Amino acid sequence: MESLLSDGIRETPPSFVRGILKAASEPDIISFAGGLPNPVSFPQEEMLVSMERIVRTYGSSVFQYSVTAGLPQLREAIARRYCEKYGLQIGADNVLITTGSQQALDLIGKVFLNKKDGIVVEKPTYLAAIQAFAMSQPKFHAVELTEEGLDLEQLAEALQRKVKFIYLIPNFQNPTGLTYSAQSRMQIYEMLRGRDVVLIEDDPYGELRFDGENLPYIGAGRLENSILLGTFSKTVTPGMRVGFLISQNKELLKYLSIAKEAGDLHTNIFAQYLIWDYLQNNDYEMHIAKIKDLYRKQAAAMIDAMKHYFPDGVQYTRPNGGMFLWVTLPEGMRAMSLFPRALEKKVAFVPGDPFYTDRKDTNTMRLNYTNADCGTIREGIRRLGECICAVNG
């Protein structure tokens, strides 16, 4: 079998998170591992009403093949929201519906990358983006993250090389929870303006800001070669797998649509009708406000517990939104070695290693605070603190 495999699949790492979710799903495990929205945030009753209504109203259309770009009404609703909330000047033709943001990443890799093409990513970055792009066997240029955003000197150096695109998560970054400052965003925009490079802004968590004010996008609406990724997975339902990408460059969208057509013809049309109907008949802003209030409390519970139970020398980010925070252990302590000890204590997290393209044996880890109540969070952090103290001596 080995001799039959493509070079791309040989070079693509399996998802560490997917690998540990089975162990972390045991009922007695407190899991901070998966990027799971809290199930209490799912609008189940409202979605049940929408299901019945779309079948009754649209009949066979919700079960039939559909157009690759996505349900026109849903695309129009997305465009209208981004015009009103973010000041973009777009219409339905600037929106492509995807099967989750993960498919958008896959399409971007297929459209732009040949073997050994350069791409710029954050250091650390979203592990599933590494996985998606690795299929095309690119050359990763990882740029360190700071409290403000990208290290601009490293970015300038990376851009001197042959780079096809730059992939960023400016809001509540996965895995660190950091958010780029307004100044950093403007500096990156100035560096990219006029360059023949595509900017990918992945924004699955932007709706989930629970502290501070919304900041403008780096390139969306301003850079010609700009693609913005969004999703309903974090605000309505992850299981429906409905995401989208936005670009004012319709030539880019044409090629992305061709790649999608070759991949799956179109995203689940029943799910598209369902989400569109939900948006039309419910107070989406109020729903998001409830999620943000919930996540604010859960993030605060985790930070308070870490202040109490983590030993001196452990550092962690304090996000203003999103679903994650990032822990840096004392020098010399390996998160991968800590992981089995934590599982013995019935608590799970994601070690930092799979979020890097060029580092191993890191002293970092990602914690998710959205999928457990505050009491469970405190108990899980207490157990994790015990493990860290035992290893730290």
Q: Are 268 and 242 contacting, i.e. CB atoms less than 8 angstroms apart?
A: yes
Q: Calculate the alpha carbon distances from 50 to 224, 264, 326 in Å.
A: 37, 25, 38
Residues 6+ apart with CB under 8 A from 80: none
| Mean of pLDDT over the chain | 94
Listed as own residue / partner, the contacts of 136-145 with beta carbons closer than 8 Å and 24 or more positions apart are 136/8, 136/109, 136/110, 137/7, 137/8, 137/11, 137/113, 138/109, 138/113, 138/164, 140/357, 140/358, 142/356, 142/357, 142/358, 145/173, 145/176, 145/178
- Tens-place pLDDT, residues 275-316: 999 999 999 999 999 999 999 999 999 999 999 999 999 999
- Indicate the pLDDT class of residue 366, thresholds 50, 70 and 90: very high
- Kindly report, residue by residue over 18-76, the tens digit of the pLDDT: 666 666 667 789 999 988 899 999 999 999 999 999 999 999 999 999 999 999 999 99
- 245-267 pLDDT tens trace: 999 999 999 999 999 999 999 99
DSSP code per residue over 185-245? HHHHHHHHTT-S-EEEEE-SSGGGB-SS-----SSTTT-SSEEEEEESTTTT-STT--EEE
* CATH numbers and ranges of domains, the chain: 2-42+286-392 (3.90.1150.10), 44-281 (3.40.640.10)
Q: Which of 251, 269, 179, 250 is nearest to 215 (CA)?
A: 179
Q: Is the pTM of the predicted complex or chain greater than 0.75?
A: yes
Q: How far is CA 127 from the centre of its chain?
A: 9
Phi, psi of 316 (to 5 degrees): -155, 150
Contacting residues for 48 by C-beta, under 8 A, at least 6 apart? none
CB 145 within 8 A of CB 173: yes
Nearest to 298 by CA among 38, 42, 72, 22: 38
Q: How confident is the model over 106-142, as pLDDT tens digits? A: 999 999 999 999 999 999 999 999 999 999 999 999 9
**Residue 364, amino acid:** T
Query: Does residue 53 contact residue 277 with C-beta atoms inside 8 Å?
Result: yes
Q: What is the pLDDT of residues 152-169, one digit of tens each?
A: 999 999 999 989 999 999
Check: CB of residue 276 under 8 Å from CB of residue 284. no
Residue 179's pLDDT is what?
Answer: 98
The answer, yes or no, to whether the previous bond of 124 is cis (omega within 30 of 0) is yes
Contact predicate 143/151, CB 8 Å: yes
Q: Where are the alpha helices (DSSP H) in the chain?
A: 7-11, 16-24, 44-58, 72-86, 100-112, 127-134, 152-159, 182-192, 250-264, 269-281, 284-309, 335-344, 374-392
Token representation of residue 51 = 């299901």
Please, are residues 317 and 206 in contact by the beta-carbon 8 Å criterion?
no
Q: For residue range 315-355, list pLDDT tens digits in order.
A: 999 999 999 999 999 998 999 999 999 999 999 999 999 99
Using CB atoms within 10 Å of the CB of residue 375, give its burial: 0 to 12 exposed, 13 to 18 middle, 19+ buried: exposed
